[in-house]
Amino acid sequence: MPFIPHTEADVSEMLAAIGAPSIDALFDEIPANLRAAPLAGIPPGLNEMQVMQLMRARARQDGLPLCFIGAGAYDHFIPSAVWAIVTRGEFYSAYTPYQAEASQGTLQTIYEYQSMIAALTGMEVSNASLYDGATALAEAALMAVRTNRKSKSARILVPRAVNPHYRAVCASSASQQGLKFEDVAYDPASGQTARSALAAWDNEDVTAIVIQQPNFFGTLEDVDALTDWAHAKGALVIASVNPTSLALLKPPGQWGTKGADIAVGDGQPLGCPLSSGGPYFGFMTTRMEYVRQMPGRIVGRTVDLEGRPGFALTLQAREQHIRRGKATSNICTNQGLLMVAGTLYTALMGSEGLSRVARACMARSDELVKALTALPGVRAAFSGARFHEAVLLLDRPVAPVLQALAERGIEGGFDLGKHYPELGPALLVCATETRSTDDIALYASTLRDILQTARTA
């Protein structure tokens, strides 16, 4: 029996110890009319060889296209050591570290993770991870409302240049508690959230503003001006950031005069493969003075009975298993294993390795934009400085072009038509350090063919 070690002799001895005539008799408290019929809709079992053959066939169907999509998930090089250690059974199959004495490995790793993420974002404290960047942003909005007690409006300003999937998750996750998310326009020339777009809110109560850096278009925001504007009117600043970019970009803790109040983001670029969207991990850091409003698990360093250093979950009274209906969040299971991947990746890269990745991403994407905008019918949408993504405008609908590229093994980017119809045919493209000059040349020549064929057709 797959994954069940019992022999027939075991079963008889066990039933005798229980005093039951059969396994079926153990279900005698379940009303007979509720007992399930055989599960006809489930296929018969496969052995490991068969299931791996099946999965390899399914995987082959998807292939390994050349990918130029970013839009919140980035194809970075992952050192072999990361997943070699992440998949060690002692990390992979361990439980949540509630029994601290039997979980020092996970607990110390979390403490080191908290230290690295706090350093990267320039903030004072970090939690042990949330689900992903989108839910981390929704949690940050809820946290801002709990923290900013002077503001009564529960109004959160969210620029349209923030990842539209993140905005959707905020709306579906936090509006039940009365939060109001308000759009802020972007400047159509630069692609930045302009200070002038905030004028409408100058005299209104605002609980917090979200600033995404780089924004969804890949454009860099004037984070200092936006942060100071918010703080001057008593609003908190929630930074949503790409961790790779923080090797080069001013960290949220140093934005404006006082720094951002909460920083969140998706840790995927730090050692998590694309994997169809997950598992990744969300990170969240904040000021020490707000730590009790932060959701999720937190690890602290302390001492044991003999005075030796050790690590334990702390501030648990914020959490659902103690505070129940008054908890900061209902989150329980988080993304622990991916947090381990992020810690390993960051430890291997260090500040120098990460800044090389960031610079290579910028160089490659700059090369990509130059190569593609050299084609007739393709131009850059925005003038603002960029990190590793860019919006390109095409002279024809995007979807058929993307489909033609896919037919030739290239995932050409993310179609912005659904979320930003005002841009016309617009495509968000990305190149990371993993895309070579040859890859970019292949994309450019393939796109040229497709555009030409369509023109002559």
Partner 1 sequence: MSNVPQDRLYARSHEWVRELADGTIELGITDHAQHALGDLVFVEVPEVGREVAAGGACAVVESVKAASDVYSPIAGTVVAVNEQLAAAPEQINQDPYGAGWIMRLKATAPLAGAGLLSPAEYASVLASN
Partner 2 sequence: MSTSIREPLIFDYSRTGRGATAQWVAEEAAPALPAALRRVTPPALPAASELAVVRHYTRLSQLNFSIDTHFYPLGSCTMKYNPKACNSAALLPEFTGRHPLASEKHSQGFLRCMHELQEMLQEVTGMQSVSLSPMAGAHGEFAGVAMIRAYHLARGDVDRNEIIVPQAAHGTNPATATMCGCVVREISVNADGDVNIDELRAAVGPRTAGIMLTNPSTLGVFERRIEEVARLVHEAGGLLYYDGANLNAILGKVRPGDMGFDVIHMNLHKTFSTPHGGGGPGAGAVGVGPRLVPFLPVPLVGVEKRAGGEHFRLLTEADRPQSIGRLTGFMGNAGVLLRAYVYMRMLGREGMSRVGEYATLNSNYLFARLQKAGFEAAYPERRASHEFILTLKRLAAERGVTAMDVAKRLLDYGFHAPTTYFPLLVPECLLIEPTETESKETLDAFVTAMSEILREAAEKPEQLKGAPFTMPVRRLDDVRAARELDLVHR
Contact residues toward partner 1 (CB under 8 A) are 149, 292, 316-318, 322-323, 326
Shorter beta-carbon distance to partner 2: residue 184 or 299: 299
Cα 27 from chain centre: 43
What is the rounded distance in angstroms from the CA atom of residue 122 to the CA atom of residue 175?
29
The size of the chain, in residues, is 457
Is 446 a binding residue for partner 2 by CB under 8 A? The answer is no
Shorter beta-carbon distance to partner 2: residue 32 or 457: 32
Among 189, 200, 332, 374, binds partner 2 (CB under 8 A): 332
SS3 track for 152-193:
CCCEEEEECCCCHHHHHHHHHHHHHHCCEEEEECCCCCCCCC
Contact 151, 230 (CB under 8 A): no
CB atoms within 10 A of CB 177: 11
Q: How far is CA 397 from CA 197, 378, 416, 423, in A?
A: 29, 12, 11, 12
What is the rounded distance in angstroms from the CA atom of residue 333 to the CA atom of residue 323?
16
Stretch that binds partner 2, among 109-117, 182-190, 204-212, 230-238 (CB under 8 A): 109-117
Residues 198-227 that bind partner 2 (CB under 8 A): 220, 222-224
Helix, strand or coil for residue 312? Answer: strand
Stretch that binds partner 2, among 192-200, 231-239, 321-329, 442-450 (CB under 8 A): 321-329
12 binds, among partner 2, partner 1, none (CB under 5 to 8 A by kind): none
Q: How many residues bind partner 2 (CB under 8 A)?
A: 203
Stretch that binds partner 2, among 150-158, 197-205, 233-241, 325-333 (CB under 8 A): 325-333
Shorter beta-carbon distance to partner 2: residue 415 or 451: 415
Q: Which of 94, 126, 119 is nearest to 299 (CA)?
A: 126
Among 8, 149, 306, 422, binds partner 2 (CB under 8 A): 306
Shorter beta-carbon distance to partner 1: residue 16 or 322: 322
Is 259 a binding residue for partner 2 by CB under 8 A? The answer is no
Locate 181 and state its tokens. Answer: 């998310």
What is the rounded distance in angstroms from the CA atom of residue 112 to the CA atom of residue 349?
14
Shorter beta-carbon distance to partner 1: residue 58 or 149: 149
Shorter beta-carbon distance to partner 2: residue 99 or 196: 99
Q: How far is the CB of 203 from partner 2 (least distance, A)?
A: 27
Q: How far is the CB of 200 from partner 2 (least distance, A)?
A: 25
Contact 265, 240 (CB under 8 A): yes
Phi, then psi, of 358 in degrees rounded to 5: -60, -45
Element (H, E) at 208: strand 208-213
Question: Within 13 A of 172's CA, how many CA atoms are on the CB side?
Answer: 8
What is the rounded distance in angstroms from the CA atom of residue 272 to the CA atom of residue 270?
6
Q: How far is the CB of 114 from partner 1 (least distance, A)?
A: 19
Is 143 a binding residue for partner 2 by CB under 8 A? The answer is no
Residues 58-87 that bind partner 2 (CB under 8 A): 58-65, 67, 69, 71-73, 75, 77, 79, 81, 83-85, 87
Shorter beta-carbon distance to partner 2: residue 133 or 159: 133
Among 324, 421, 422, 456, binds partner 2 (CB under 8 A): 324
Shorter beta-carbon distance to partner 1: residue 189 or 322: 322
Is 438 a binding residue for partner 2 by CB under 8 A? The answer is no
Q: How far is CA 317 from CA 162, 290, 295, 310, in A?
A: 33, 15, 11, 20
What is the rounded distance in angstroms from the CA atom of residue 344 to the CA atom of residue 339?
9
305 binds, among partner 2, partner 1, none (CB under 5 to 8 A by kind): partner 2
Q: How far is the CB of 156 from partner 2 (least distance, A)?
A: 16
What is the rounded distance in angstroms from the CA atom of residue 106 to the CA atom of residue 229?
41
Is 161 a binding residue for partner 2 by CB under 8 A? The answer is no
Among 226, 236, 260, 349, binds partner 2 (CB under 8 A): 349
Is 99 a binding residue for partner 2 by CB under 8 A? The answer is yes
Locate 360 and state its tokens. Answer: 């290579």
Phi, then psi, of 211 in degrees rounded to 5: -125, 115
Pairing of strands 125-126, 282-286: antiparallel
The separation between the first and the last C-alpha atoms of the chain, rounded to the nearest angstrom, is 61
Contact 158, 127 (CB under 8 A): no
Q: How far is the CB of 380 from partner 2 (least distance, A)?
A: 13
Helix, strand or coil for residue 313? Answer: strand
Among 249, 378, 394, 426, binds partner 2 (CB under 8 A): 249
Stretch that binds partner 2, among 45-53, 149-157, 189-197, 372-380 (CB under 8 A): 45-53
Among 8, 29, 422, 438, binds partner 2 (CB under 8 A): 29
52 binds, among partner 1, partner 2, none (CB under 5 to 8 A by kind): partner 2
Is 421 a binding residue for partner 2 by CB under 8 A? The answer is no
Q: How far is the CB of 159 from partner 2 (least distance, A)?
A: 17
